[in-house]
């Protein structure tokens, strides 16, 4: 499967590297305003393929996206000193207003996978500009936050994170909602499972895990300037679900359509992902506190999109 990547910075290049090493794509094209950067990453990643899977990896321009099944959007601009969040959003919206028509002209059958932050609002912007059905525009959303949640719960309980069925919903950001009321492990509710094995999830443990998930990005950025390995893995996971038509349930962002009070807002829910994009969106059971938190989270996204004109 051919995958295009717009933006060969840390996230885009790490996604390309992960796709190549996991064999998730047989052809990867990197497109960036800095053509030397895209070429250098393509060449470097190509040199790793003898240790993994064969893949064609190269730098190109928008025309090179032709026949791509998925185009990852990891482009955008960084925040300037003293710049407000809305000002940054406005500048990024203008970037996508320029980029998306070029992508659609070259690969109008492709699914669009948004990785640029703030991912929920950018997903809303891309959905509007592209005029694609919402099921063909997928934001990476809380796929990484969900992975962090499962990892920390699994670590506390001494079980594989893959056996922890738990989700983070809402905004990929400070207002994200960790669902504690309905996760399961082996068909057993999370809290019952924890009690059965003698590792209860107390209020203190829950607060520690919440902090570990919610503030992970800030800690990583303080330490090394940016996050890219985790999201690179998450993007590769979404690509594999599309390539293999898995019908995988992943916490990704898209424009909500199944509940009127959230309709038209892009935020993360567990969604079924396959070859045609998003097949369906699911609503995990939420207690009253989680329902209220989700309403606050989606309101933040809706307000920002409205101020931006989207």
The percentage of residues in the chain with a pLDDT greater than 90, rounded to a whole number, is 87
CATH architecture of 2-139: 3-Layer(aba) Sandwich (3.40)
Catalytic residue among 41, 47, 156, 172, which? 172
pLDDT tens for 151-210 read 999 999 999 999 999 999 999 988 999 999 999 999 999 999 999 999 999 999 999 999
Fold equal for 2-139 and 143-308: no
Q: Under a CB-based contact definition with an 8 Å cutoff, are residues 163 and 185 in contact?
A: yes
- The answer to whether residue 165 is catalytic is no
Average pLDDT, the chain: 95
Q: CATH number of the domain at 143-308, please?
A: 3.90.110.10
Q: Which position has the higher pLDDT, 87 or 227?
A: 227
pLDDT exceeds cutoff 90 at 130 = yes
Q: Which two tokens stand for residue 283?
A: 């609503």
In the chain, domain spans: 2-139, 143-308
């Amino acid at each position: 499967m051919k995958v295009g990547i717009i933006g060969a910075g840390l996230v885009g290049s790490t996604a390309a590297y992960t796709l190549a090493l996991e064999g998730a794509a047989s052809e990867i094209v990197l497109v960036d305003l800095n053509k030397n950067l895209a070429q250098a990453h393509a060449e470097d990643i190509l040199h790793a393929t003898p240790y993994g899977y064969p893949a064609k990896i190269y730098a190109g321009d928008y025309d090179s996206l032709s026949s791509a099944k998925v185009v990852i959007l990891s482009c955008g601009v960084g925040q300037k000193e003293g710049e407000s969040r809305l000002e940054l959003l406005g500048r990024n919206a203008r970037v996508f207003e320029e980029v998306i028509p070029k992508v659609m002209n070259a690969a109008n059958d492709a699914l669009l996978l948004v990785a640029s932050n703030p991912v929920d609002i950018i997903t809303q912007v891309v959905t509007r500009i592209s005029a694609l059905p919402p099921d063909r525009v997928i934001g990476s959303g809380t796929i990484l936050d969900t992975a962090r949640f499962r990892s920390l719960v699994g670590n506390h309980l001494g079980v594989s994170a893959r056996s922890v069925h738990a989700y983070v919903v809402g905004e990929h950001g400070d207002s994200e909602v960790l669902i504690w009321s309905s996760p399961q492990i082996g068909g057993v509710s999370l809290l019952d499972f924890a009690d059965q094995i003698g590792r209860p999830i107390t209020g203190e443990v829950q607060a520690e895990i919440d902090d570990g998930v919610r503030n992970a990005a800030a800690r990583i950025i303080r330490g090394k300037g940016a996050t890219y390995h985790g999201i690179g893995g998450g993007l590769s996971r979404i690509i594999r679900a599309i390539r293999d038509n898995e019908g995988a349930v992943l916490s990704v962002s898209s424009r909500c359509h199944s509940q009127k009070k959230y309709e038209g807002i892009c935020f993360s829910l567990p969604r079924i992902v396959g070859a045609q994009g998003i097949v369906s969106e699911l609503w995990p059971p939420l207690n009253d506190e989680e329902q209220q938190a989700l309403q606050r989270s989606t309101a933040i996204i809706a307000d920002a999109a409205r101020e931006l004109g989207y």
